[in-house]
Amino acid sequence: MSVDHNSLNWQAGWATSVQAPSSGFHENWAEEGFADQTVRQTVRVTGAGTWARIRLSNRYGTAPLEVSGASLARAGAGAAVAAGSTRRLAFGGRESVRIPAGGEVHSDPVELTVAALQSLTVSLYYARPTGPATFHAQAWATAYRAAGEQLGEVDPAVFGETSVSWYHLAAVELADGGPARRDAVVLFGDSLTDGFGSTVDGDRRYSDALAERLAAQGRPLRVLNAGIGGNLLLHDSAWFGERAGARFDRDVLAQPGVRTVVVLVGLNDIGFSEVDLPTYKPAPDLSVEQLIAGYRELIDRAHAAGVRVVGGTILPFKGAEYHSPAAEAKRRAVNEWIRTAGAFDAVADFAAALADPADPDALRPAYDCGDRKHPGDAGYRAMAQAVDPAVL
């Protein structure tokens, strides 16, 4: 049966928040870009469908980006793909696409049956030099690079270089021929949402744990991760992305079928001013009132778009490099406002769920990845448990 592609109702399957090229947290390829190389990236979708397309971003490019070819497949182990699943992608009927500086583009749809919580692999070939690449610094997933055009089911051994960032890939969207649905939950914030300290290639962020929990309860929702490590509520950063308010519409409200957003941001706004590090600039000493005004702005914009907002309390961070009595006082005051002011539609009390019972200003040791401010895999599972599915 033929399908009118224009009639498909696209739903969010997977998404990430893009950033300007930088040296980031780990060694990556963003500043050097690509030339006569194929990059293979694997992502796990949280929705199902029978049609798929990708969205590529050149938001931070200073010149047009040429993608000479692309493919989508079900993921195999490492850089391998599942036999017989590769679909060559087109853009307006053409194999290559030119994306203007600051722009983005969707691929044409391809027919591919995709199950919820299944991993897909996107391969992008760049025949000509790209210049610095729009990317997502901390993917907590391995990207692979090979010389030449390697879009098909090639020997995965040709992908001899790796990094842990995503490049130009901003979203995978799915359709099943059915009506549009509002069933997407966007988790929005900083490294605590991004998954810092979780197992690479393990899908152990709190977004993963929440998607798995909802699916196990028979109430699957599409859970999207819009976290950026180091992100700030009130200030842009060359290292850690545009401020939360500047990217909120793009990363949250523009997602297909968004129903609810869980906001967990503010720790870096509180802590950065306590330590004199170049990567933490700008780091003004912000008041609790300024932070609350920033939250209220996000809440108002979400409500204007008909989106519910869940407020996440800021996790304990005693023992971390930027903990201080002043910073702790701010965290407590902000969390008290989140819990009691009634500004959010609901609250996810992450701080209470992960606090050490013997010292509530510190993370429970079993949940700490080791740096005293980020959870490990067990901590991210605890965060997912702190979100009441009924409020989503």
User: Within a 13 Å sphere around the CA of 38, how many CA atoms are in the beta-carbon half?
Assistant: 22
For residue range 191-203, list pLDDT tens digits in order: 999 999 999 999 9
Kindly report, residue by residue over 105-164, the tens digit of the pLDDT: 999 999 999 999 999 999 999 999 999 999 999 999 999 999 999 999 999 999 999 999
pLDDT value for 3: 59
Average pLDDT, integer, range 218-243: 95
Q: For residue 327, give the nearest of 283, 289, 284, 271 by alpha carbon.
A: 271
Q: Considering only CA atoms, which of 166, 194, 156 is closest in space to residue 76?
A: 156
Cβ-contact 54, 175 below 8 angstroms: no
Peptide bond before 282: cis, by omega within 30 degrees of 0? Answer: yes
* DSSP assignment string, 256-299: TTEEEEEEE--HHHHHGGGS--GGG-S-----HHHHHHHHHHHH
Instruction: Please provide the average confidence, as pLDDT, over all residues in the chain.
Output: 96
Residue 374 is given by DSSP the state: S
Dump pLDDT digits (tens) for 268-304: 999 999 999 988 999 999 999 999 999 999 999 999 9
User: How far apart are the C-alpha atoms of 17 and 172, rounded to whole Å?
Assistant: 13
pLDDT grade for 392, boundaries at 50, 70 and 90: very high
The count of other CB atoms within 10 Å of the CB of residue 3 is 13
Q: Which domains does the chain have, with CATH numbers?
A: 5-174 (2.60.120), 182-391 (3.40.50.1110)
Q: Which percentage of the chain shows pLDDT scores above 70?
A: 98
- Cα R_g (the chain), whole angstroms: 20
What's the one-letter identity of residue 301? R
How would residue 1 be classed by pLDDT, with cut points 50, 70 and 90? Answer: very low
Query: 19 Cβ partners below 8 Å, 6+ apart?
Result: 60, 134, 135, 136, 137, 228, 240, 241
322-335 pLDDT, tens digit each: 999 999 999 999 99
Region 245-268 average pLDDT = 98
Q: Which candidate, 157, 134, 82, places its Cα nearest to that of 113?
A: 82
User: Cα–Cα distance between 307 and 310 in angstroms, integer?
Assistant: 10
> What are 343-357's pLDDT values in tens digits?
999 999 999 999 999
pLDDT in tens, 116-126: 999 999 999 99
The pLDDT, as a whole number, for residue 5 is 66
